[in-house]
Amino acid sequence: MSAATIPVHAQPSWSEEDRARAEHYALLARLLHGAPDAPLLVALAAAASALGGTAGALPQAWAALGAAAGAPLQGVCDEFNALFISVGKPVVMANGSWYLTGFLQEEPLAELRADLAELGLGRRAGVTETEDHIAALAEVMRHLVLTGPDEAGLQRQRAFFARHIAPWYADFAHALAQAPGADFYAKVGALLLAFMDIEREAFDMLEVSA
């Protein structure tokens, strides 16, 4: 499973909030699955001019990411490779099992695969990352947002987020922030943290009101 691998058909009942949420998940999936290309860096800078600069963690994260998007493309690509690509243990691990157990391919991954099967989802042939990779999880959340704008869909989103993302996304973001040589991707981590904090708070409120 990887960014943009799950086809989604338009839903007439999407709210602007759901569209924005889906776009954030899609962006995080794209940036954490592979290094950005030049058009994406340009788009990030443009988006930051509209979304960044005001008070709040998310606008501030957007402003910082927009500024970092002005870095040379090759430098950003080299940074991605240095952080995430390795024949051994990468500088930054992007898999939930690692943060939850200290190992890969552990019980959290098996539980995730069972939940994905119930949703009718699974890893596509040829994809090397396991399903608990942060990019894959962001893509699943994008899919759930766009295919479930009703109350039942919100509950699916809440349950999946609470079980498979909430326990470790902050640790991943902090690992990015502290990684040697991280600049652009430290800003990506800050955006992920700010956005997912909002998601967690919203889901907590949904649970209280249920």
- Residue 200's domain is classified under what CATH number? 1.10.3480.10
Q: Of 207, 194, 208, nearest to 27 (Cα)?
A: 194
pLDDT digits (tens, 9 = 90+) for 107-117: 999 999 999 99
Asked whether residue 176 is domain-assigned, the answer is: yes
133 bridge partner residues: 95
pLDDT reading at 25 higher than 70: yes
Asked whether residue 127 is domain-assigned, the answer is: yes
**How many folded domains does the chain comprise?**
1
Q: Of 172, 167, 160, 147, nearest to 113 (Cα)?
A: 160
Mean pLDDT of the region 30-45: 97
CA–CA separation, 210 and 194 (whole Å): 25
CA–CA separation, 85 and 44 (whole Å): 23
Asked whether residue 8 is domain-assigned, the answer is: no
CA–CA separation, 135 and 25 (whole Å): 9
Q: Of 158, 164, 167, 161, nearest to 210 (Cα)?
A: 158
pTM tops 0.75, yes or no: yes
Q: Of 150, 174, 154, 199, nearest to 24 (Cα)?
A: 199
Which of 32-46, 76-90, 138-152 has the highest average model confidence (pLDDT)?
32-46
pLDDT band at 208 (very low <50, low <70, confident <90, very high): low
**Contacting residues for 205 by C-beta, under 8 A, at least 6 apart:** none
- Which residues form the domain of 57? 16-209
Asked whether residue 2 is domain-assigned, the answer is: no
CA–CA separation, 63 and 51 (whole Å): 7
Burial of 95 (0-12, 13-18, 19+ CB in 10 A): buried
pLDDT reading at 173 higher than 70: yes
Asked whether residue 116 is domain-assigned, the answer is: yes
Q: Among residues of the chain, what percentage have pLDDT more than 90?
A: 75
pLDDT digits (tens, 9 = 90+) for 63-84: 999 999 999 999 999 999 999 9
Rounded (10°) angle between helices 184-209 and 16-33? 140
Residues, the chain, total?
A: 210
CA–CA separation, 191 and 193 (whole Å): 5
Mean pLDDT of the region 124-138: 89
